[in-house]
Chains A and B, each alone.
Chain A
Amino acid sequence: MSSLPDIFSAVAQGLGITLQVLILSIICASIIAFVAGLSRVNTNPLVSGFTGFFVEIFRGTSLIVQLFWFSYALPGLFNIHLGSDVWVAVLAISLNYGAYMSEIVRGSIQAVAAGQTEASIALNLSKFQRMRHIILPQALRMMLPEYGNYLIQILKATSLVSLIGLTDLLYYGNIYRSTHLSESPLVYVLLLVMYFIIALPLIFFTRKMEIVSKKGVAS
């Protein structure tokens, strides 16, 4: 077991990239989810239809395929250079999970009772005020537990970035394993434990939000 500190110091070099991709992806995916979710409940069929099309494309294909596609196609085909592979990874992960999460946004907005919309129209609130003060605050509470679940999914997805050459936790784990074959079980168990430790705050957040979202709601 004396090799455990060695493995840890080797693998920990990738912690920065993993956390960087995780945090950037969470921010971008949340923005995409809100923009796409609100566009899908837009009354203009062109806006909602167009957004729906994009959401279905990103939900319908696999994240790993998208990741490869972005890393090969963006520079070659469209001559788009995002500066670093970190941004390619963040783009793929946040478009994929943004698409999934936009469905929660849409679902929760539509789950707010129709009487709330009718009442706010009767009170002569503008469309924007209705969304801002009446619908969204109620929808937000409903979407929180699912949102927490998706944050854990995004953490798991960050392990894929090693496949396009980013030097994250798994990348350094694989490097270490290739030179110390007999210690492979220890390497991967340590990696799993490290991912789990990063996931713990997200797990507790999700559990807490499950309680919050049920509070004061008639069952």
Chain B
Amino acid sequence: MTWSWDVFFSVIPLIFKGLWITLGLTLACYLFAAVFGFVWVFLNRLPWRPVRWLFGWIAEFIRSTPPLVQLFFIYYAWPMMPVVGVSLNPFVAAILGLGIHFSTYMSEVYRSGIESVDKGQWEASTALNLSTRQKWTKIILPQAIPPTIPMLGNYLIIMFKEVPLASTIGVVAMLHIANDYGAQYYKYVEPLTVVALFFLLLSYPSALLINKLEKKYNRRFDKKTLA
């Protein structure tokens, strides 16, 4: 097997089509994880200690077991379950599986943001007789979320690199196209290299952008503490 530039250039348009699917899936998974992450935050703040403890361990369980096995569970095992079993198409299964996996990480980000809000803010908003809903939407969340933006951005890049897992349950995105091509012509290296290059071309500039954001928010933080 030798490297062939002809193959390399001919698979670029083919893989490029898969790039849009990979990007779309990344975005869908990310949105699901970002929204679902708040559910964990809510469960974590319930007033009953055993319930908090239980959901804490469930989140830990989801976080520390392989997302690939979770994908297989949702795609292959869920339809076999009695009563609640339904077949899912690969896209929905991937969004659910990766989304739930990463929501446990997102909730940690939110939690660190909420914990960074000064305690006095809670006391002051209670003193002003704000309702629970007003406290969260007007006082706490506007202060808790902006400092976590760089971290949230980081997870978007991480998610982008985890989405190829979905090729194992048959989502025809970049990696799946590359593997199919390899199986057909017995040329794996060129298409896989194209996939790797696409990943690099997208994730490296985004990482630089996140670094810039991080510096921006750090600087603002410094100014605030100096004043």
1/0 per residue, CB under 8 A from B, across A122-166: the answer is 000000000000000000000000000000100111111001000
Given A77-B1, A185-B77, A192-B61: A69 touches B193 (CB 8 Å cut-off): yes
B168 within 8 A of A: yes
B207 within 8 A of A: yes
**How many chain A residues touch B (Cβ–Cβ < 8 Å)?**
43
Q: How far is the CA of A63 from the CA of B195 in the complex (A)?
A: 12
Given A56-B204, A76-B1, A156-B67: A61 touches B168 (CB 8 Å cut-off): no
Q: List chain B residues, Cβ under 8 A from A62.
A: 160-164, 175, 196, 199
Q: Told that A65-B196, A195-B66, A202-B64 touch, could you supply 11 new A-B pairs with CB distance under 8 A?
A: A57-B200, A60-B199, A60-B204, A73-B192, A159-B68, A170-B69, A173-B69, A174-B72, A195-B65, A203-B60, A203-B64
Q: List chain A residues, Cβ under 8 A from B163.
A: 62
The chain B residues found within 8 Å of chain A, CB to CB, are: 1-3, 60-61, 63-70, 72-73, 76-78, 80-81, 160-165, 167-168, 175, 178-179, 182, 188-189, 192-193, 195-196, 199-200, 203-204, 207
Chain B interface, >50% SS class: helix
A184 within 8 A of B: yes
The chain A residues found within 8 Å of chain B, CB to CB, are: 56-57, 59-66, 68-69, 72-73, 76-77, 152, 155-160, 163, 170, 173-174, 177, 181-185, 187-189, 191-192, 195-196, 199, 202-203
Residue ID in chain B nearest A199 by CB atoms? B64
Q: How far is the CA of A195 from the CA of B73 in the complex (A)?
A: 14
Q: How far is the CB of B23 from chain A (nearest CB, A)?
A: 13
